[in-house]
């Protein structure tokens, strides 16, 4: 029994946090986000550090680590609201490892691991429905390959991706279509949080070769959904903890009625509640991260407990964090609002709290 991190994992966390502070501070985050959410230089550095190939076996050029290590990296990167598509890259690598054949793995994984190509994953086409039936884009047999149809309205990081793995209804059931950015029409969409870019992808009449359709079972789809929810939750741990720190520091310094506002119980108790929720979804997130590789049959429940908690709690941390700052928290110039926006983004991603809590109820026998 050991529910703690190894020395290597703690070093990794420190390294990523330091990278964010030194190379991608919040001023840089704003610049990158305003320019569409990508920075080739930083991406190259991250690739060289090995952080994009954590989940990929060494045989394919990765580090051969586990999702719990990926959780550490995503959490640490999110303390600085990293706008780079690290989570999407990780999910794409899991999708390839889960659904691809050996040739496809050998072709795609090494460049993915080094960050030489940016990948993303698009699953559902309904705005608020986690179900195989919520995938409406299609792939139909055509000549030696397939012709795609329909539209993927909500694809994370599509604007910066070189390759996109997109869920479709294929001739023999669910599948992932692998397309290059030039083969499809990608339209960036303005959203509440521009540190997490989103785009629609029009697939109508796009032709792909036979080796570009990866069969996917419903079980695999749900596994990828769970990994997605885990990635988002890990980012909510990092971002939530940074928001609490930012707000706590402000409460210690801001003086009103002759005292630092952090001395008033009205403020103090809100901060304590933020801490209680943060620590709690943190514990659930780490357990889910461990389940991903070490107890997969528990993953669905563990992820739903974690994301079900974090979705609402992080949103409240964002609201209270901005609120405790007063008017300055509402300004564009101050950083608190960026965390609140991130919480809005995270809430529906890979299932909102209603979806996850209902699944907890079902798995628990109701």
Partner 1 sequence: MDFDYTAEENAFREEVRRFIDDNLPPKKERDKNFLATWLEKVRAKGWVGFSWPKEFGGSAGGLIEQTILREEMALAKAPPLGTSMMGLAWVGPGIMEYGTEEQKRKFIPDILDSKVTWCTGYSEPNHGSDLAAIQCKAELHGDNYIVNGQKIWTTGAPWSQWIILLTRTQFDVASKHDGITCLLVPMDAPGVEVRPIENMAGDKHFAEIFFTDVEVPVEHRLGAEGDGWKVTVSALANERSSIGEVTQMFAKLENLKELVKSTKKQGKPAHEDPGVRRKVAQFEMKIAAMKYNGLRYLTKQIKGEPLSSETSVNKLHRASLEIEMDDFAVELTGQAGLQLRGGEDAVDGGTWSKSALNWPNVVIGGGTPNIQRNIIAERLLGMPKD
Contact positions vs partner 1 (CB under 8 A)? 1-6, 68, 244, 248, 251-252, 259-260, 262-263, 265, 267-269, 271-273, 275-276, 279-281, 283-284, 286-287, 290, 294-295, 305, 308-309, 354, 357-358, 360-361, 364-366
Q: Distance (Å, rounded) from C-alpha 304 to C-alpha 316?
A: 18
| Residue in the block written with tokens 């990158």 | 32
Give yes or no for a contact between 268 and 357, defined as CB atoms under 8 angstroms apart: no
Closest approach, Cβ 297 to partner 1, in A, equals 13
Closest approach, Cβ 247 to partner 1, in A, equals 9
Closest approach, Cβ 80 to partner 1, in A, equals 20
Nearer to partner 1, 103 or 257 (CB): 257
Closest approach, Cβ 292 to partner 1, in A, equals 12
Q: Distance (Å, rounded) from C-alpha 194 to C-alpha 120?
A: 17
Nearer to partner 1, 176 or 288 (CB): 288
Residues 6+ apart with CB under 8 A from 231: 70, 71, 74, 87, 90, 91, 350
Nearer to partner 1, 150 or 289 (CB): 289
Nearer to partner 1, 162 or 293 (CB): 293
Beta strand ranges found along 197-355 (DSSP E): 198-202, 206-208, 213-215, 255-256, 259-260
Tokens of 342: 């991130």
Closest approach, Cβ 81 to partner 1, in A, equals 21
Nearer to partner 1, 4 or 219 (CB): 4
Give yes or no for a contact between 164 and 122, defined as CB atoms under 8 angstroms apart: yes
Strands 145-149 and 138-142, bridge-based pairing: antiparallel
148 DSSP β-pair partners: 139, 206
Nearer to partner 1, 157 or 312 (CB): 312
Closest approach, Cβ 245 to partner 1, in A, equals 9
Residue 347 CB neighbours (<10 A): 19
């Amino acid at each position: 029994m050991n529910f703690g991190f190894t020395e290597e994992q703690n070093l990794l966390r420190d390294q990523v946090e330091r990278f964010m502070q030194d190379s991608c501070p919040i001023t840089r985050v704003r610049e990158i986000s305003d320019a569409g959410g990508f920075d080739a230089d930083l991406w190259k550095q991250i690739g060289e550090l090995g952080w994009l190939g954590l989940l990929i076996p060494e045989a394919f050029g990765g580090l051969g680590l586990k999702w719990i290590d990926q959780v550490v990296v995503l959490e640490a990167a999110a303390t600085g609201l990293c706008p780079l598509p690290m989570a999407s890259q990780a999910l794409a690598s899991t999708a390839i490892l889960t659904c691809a054949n050996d040739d496809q793995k050998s072709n795609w994984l090494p460049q993915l691991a080094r960050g030489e190509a940016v990948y993303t994953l698009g699953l559902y086409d309904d705005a608020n429905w986690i179900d195989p039936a919520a995938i409406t884009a299609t792939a139909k047999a055509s000549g030696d390959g397939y012709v795609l149809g329909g539209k993927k309205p909500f694809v994370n990081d599509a604007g910066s991706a070189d390759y996109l793995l997109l869920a479709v209804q294929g001739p023999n059931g669910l599948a992932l279509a692998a397309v290059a950015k030039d083969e499809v029409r990608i339209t960036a969409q303005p959203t509440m949080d521009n540190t997490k870019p989103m785009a629609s992808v029009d697939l109508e009449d796009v032709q792909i070769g036979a080796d570009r359709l990866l069969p996917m079972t419903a079980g695999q789809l749900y596994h990828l959904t769970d990994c997605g929810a885990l990635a988002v939750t890990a980012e909510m741990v990092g971002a939530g903890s940074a928001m609490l720190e930012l707000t706590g520091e402000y409460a210690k310094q801001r003086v009103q009625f002759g005292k630092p506002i952090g001395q008033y119980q009205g403020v103090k108790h809100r901060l304590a509640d933020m801490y209680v929720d943060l620590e709690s979804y943190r514990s659930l997130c780490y357990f889910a991260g461990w389940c991903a590789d070490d107890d997969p049959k528990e993953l669905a429940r563990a992820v739903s407990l974690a994301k079900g908690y974090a979705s609402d709690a992080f949103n409240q941390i964002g609201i209270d964090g901005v609120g405790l700052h007063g008017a300055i928290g509402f300004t564009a110039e101050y950083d608190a609002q960026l965390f609140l926006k991130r919480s809005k983004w995270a809430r529906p991603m890979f299932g909102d709290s209603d979806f996850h809590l209902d699944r907890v109820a079902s798995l628990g026998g109701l």
